[in-house]
Structure 1
């Protein structure tokens, strides 16, 4: 049989039909191929659906999509390589949707966890602090020294010597454990580390506010609009039990509640999928759903890699699918390190996991899930050591001296789901002084649809610059810095534009607050305030859209 490159695509949250998301991805690849130079990376043709028997079980089979990449040699097209696209479809694994009350409790837990993290002592939440340290650009030797001192600060002896676990005690611990020549440099690094932790927490808070304000502004607009309409309809009518103003407020409240419930019914499946993934209690039903979905992806990945005709594999995950496919691959990689398997089986498994050349996480919530839900408080240091040392290291045999799969994370600041990923830590190469310990290449891109949150989240495959990076990795197995730099979005909104937009929005909110407090009772003035809020949002939207069009060369 013909040797081929496999692509495993894992779709995102929601209820997509089987093969629909994968077909849309292949359409995006086809369009990108038509934009490429036909004499270099070429283009794809002969796209067709086929069936194959499982590599491990001859009794079962699966569907896949096959295409061929062509390249013009001279003026004649020549077939270069075959590709097979498999979909890790998990939406068919149904689970019970969460209730509105359950979601509210879940949100309150997030707020509580964030508050505790923000106000915690330096010893608490060590995993989060280590991730921020690993993101800082410092030498690998210095990083290892301060990590070792922090680990000793966190162990049993350190807890007895420094029971409060404050940052001041950590500096005292540095003075005790470091050499004279390193002491000053390590203390400076510790201060910078603490500053980065604070900046990270403040940034997370501001991003939460930025996501919440448009939603609240929309609900506020509905409230004011229906209050004004109902007050004009009622007019001078008198009620026995309530005043006209109270009746108008009641009508506006009912309309706002109905809008909220409508939004809930539209998004409850999406929210339930996220809740199922973020549940870490093994006895919870949602945790079992999470495990089933990872195992579905792991079984497919293992089956594809076991095919001797598969010479290379590229993993592509969108939204929550990125977390599922990456978790599945890391579990296969961990299996290779098991202590009780035959060496022949270990060697075979190592050859299989090393077929994966690239992993694309697109619009991925991995970092936010790690930060909000997997942030162990570190109260029990032995449990934390086991938890921290285990699942999310980019470890051997897939990664090591030979390199490893290149992980590329495409994200956008206007996608509320995605963010940079700095929680995937690559095991350092022995004897190296400078370690690129973050195993992910983060690229902020410009999805079509920004800054509308849902359109941004679903617009990555419509962005030619993003698809150019993915297409090159699939076609050639390489990634050029030039393509990644072209894909990277750099905002050109000036400071005065930001200042005007911020001032307009703050002024709108101030007048809205006066109206809500009862200082302004005129109906037409309330409508004027509402339109000020809308104009502020529209101006922000237009400015951002122009910025994105300038990046893509449309403006």
Structure 2
């Protein structure tokens, strides 16, 4: 995302892996002979690829040669979107979140099933119950049930589930996948009534979270602009009137002075303008699924470039295995590129899955961090109607992780590990790519802690400083023993969940609620000023200024320390004062 330069992320990855091995003092091996190379290939708009070749050795034994590639798609997004267009795009996503809230229960099946996966992962619902409810939802979408329950509300789904059947007695949860969250005691042979209620409540909570996030983000941006303009007017006029009596002030100022002061305020907020255009412009382009929209062309160009890059790598006879690391929006690009590559390989091999699998099965690991894959489903998916056949067709043709290269002959092939942190508002667990029918999780979500503050930028980019993330990435590149068992008989090894993650998640939630209180404070200040209550308006402005100061301090006022760094802290100097 943004205006990253070519080789920036690639070099950062190699530097990080090299440092991680170095601080291991021989226990983690060594990277050597790092040389940039140019590879002549026949692609649609390029005749070469650049990569860095490196040799990994451990205990003086050469283990493997590794080639590091970068799918650099920033030029395809060059130009970005103006900040106003980005805000307009975000505003258009708000109705989509509202549609999710009001939609029939049989619609948006993928997000509903993803919530079930989350509940199973947390240990809140037994896997047997979740599978039974998913099966009931599929049956509820058949034409006979639609005729009987035309509104397809959740209450009608409950009524149908009572009449349909009861599932076998639930099994006790043997393993807590997320140890940071306690597993509640589950009563054997309990009916589906309680799990259904938990599922509906969780779905409603996710929908409300998406709606409030989109509204809160727009409100936060607008309130920063409003505060900047008001502050500029107060400085220019050298009075508190813009804060405590804005209506009379702007009426008395006249058009010319008002325009000048507004422009001065916008200049104060220009860093926010650049941030929106540079980073969220890419999200707006990639989140455009409407093929009639001009922004869709850039999205398709990125998809073609990344798919071609992956194809030429896996088709190389010298390539034995592939490990993919993807950050932020790149995780969504990677996921869709893998699905698109599967369709292209099947087409080139006459729909022969065996021939296509030989190449695609080389992809062994996918590591995502700071990924918005699930959240983009809530913000970008829309429906012009709630057609039963549209839902089934859309889910079938868009594909998921039940196909190649994620699975080979029905057995999981790619080990997908997703790192996320509660301090990063963009990231979160990934569940939507999971199979809608076979209730076998394909993504393993690992919560981590980057920085214990509300600096979203630091938290979103701090994964490469995190010991858990870097350690796992180094291991899957250098240890073939971590690849999935081709027969599926052996459970894969997974990274451990760091301690204190659950408590940190609660603190981060409180911090972000405080952050979203800022636009409420600005709105209250404007309202009190407009109603002619200067004392309350001044108090509300003081609260908003304090909240803004806390935000600025967390973002730029000090250098936060990483909570789980892979690099040891620098040694104290000899002349440092002793306590």
Aligned-pair CA distance for 1:381:
0.9
Counterparts of 1:134-533 in structure 2 under 5 Å?
Answer: 134-137=117-120, 138-179=125-166, 185-208=191-214, 211=217, 215=221, 218-232=224-238, 246-247=252-253, 253-259=262-268, 263-335=272-344, 341=350, 343=352, 346-376=353-383, 379-398=386-405, 399-400=407-408, 402-426=411-435, 435=439, 437-447=440-450, 451-477=454-480, 478=482, 483-486=495-498, 489-492=501-504, 514-515=528-529, 517-520=531-534, 528-529=542-543, 531-533=545-547
Aligned-pair CA distance for 1:275:
1.8
- Give secondary structure in 2 for the equivalent of 1:16: coil
- Give secondary structure in 1 for the equivalent of 2:412: coil
Counterparts of 1:70-89 in structure 2 under 5 Å?
Answer: 70-71=57-58, 73=59, 77-89=60-72
Aligned to 1:35: 23
Aligned to 1:19: 7
Aligned-pair CA distance for 1:92:
2.1
Partners in 2 of 1:27 and 1:244 — Cα distance? 55
Contact kept in structure 1, 2:374 and 2:432, CA below 8 Å = yes
Aligned-pair CA distance for 1:87:
1.2
Residues 251 and 282 from structure 1, CA distance in 2 versus in 1: closer, same or farther, beyond 3 angstroms? closer
Contact kept in structure 2, 1:363 and 1:419, CA below 8 Å = yes
Partners in 2 of 1:64 and 1:35 — Cα distance? 25
Contact kept in structure 2, 1:125 and 1:378, CA below 8 Å = no
Partners in 2 of 1:202 and 1:378 — Cα distance? 21
Q: How many pairs are equivalent? A: 522
- Give secondary structure in 1 for the equivalent of 2:424: coil
Aligned-pair CA distance for 1:55:
8.3
Aligned to 2:114: 131
Contact kept in structure 2, 1:44 and 1:70, CA below 8 Å = yes
Aligned-pair CA distance for 1:97:
4.2
Contact kept in structure 2, 1:317 and 1:362, CA below 8 Å = yes
Partners in 2 of 1:534 and 1:60 — Cα distance? 50
- Give secondary structure in 2 for the equivalent of 1:69: strand
Partners in 2 of 1:518 and 1:202 — Cα distance? 34
Aligned to 1:8: none
Aligned-pair CA distance for 1:224:
4.5
Residues 541 and 283 from structure 1, CA distance in 2 versus in 1: closer, same or farther, beyond 3 angstroms? closer
Contact kept in structure 2, 1:449 and 1:455, CA below 8 Å = no
Partners in 1 of 2:50 and 2:32 — Cα distance? 19
Contact kept in structure 2, 1:394 and 1:439, CA below 8 Å = yes
Aligned to 1:122: 105
Q: Deviations over 1:24-44 (max 9, x none)?
A: 2211221112123523x3121
- Give secondary structure in 2 for the equivalent of 1:92: helix
Q: Deviations over 1:82-118 (max 9, x none)?
A: 1001111112225664455543442222111111212
Unaligned runs of 5+ in 2: 170-188, 242-247, 484-491, 571-579
Aligned-pair CA distance for 1:194:
0.6
Contact kept in structure 1, 2:34 and 2:55, CA below 8 Å = yes
Q: Deviations over 1:260-306 (max 9, x none)?
A: 56633453243332222112222333222212211111111111111
Partners in 2 of 1:34 and 1:364 — Cα distance? 28
- Give secondary structure in 1 for the equivalent of 2:496: helix
Q: Deviations over 1:506-550 (max 9, x none)?
A: 89666776456431269987875555334554787799987x755
- Give secondary structure in 1 for the equivalent of 2:330: helix
**TM-score, normalised via structure 2 length:** 0.77
Aligned-pair CA distance for 1:491:
3.9
Contact kept in structure 2, 1:131 and 1:422, CA below 8 Å = yes
Contact kept in structure 2, 1:36 and 1:43, CA below 8 Å = no
Unaligned runs of 5+ in 1: 1-12, 236-241, 430-434
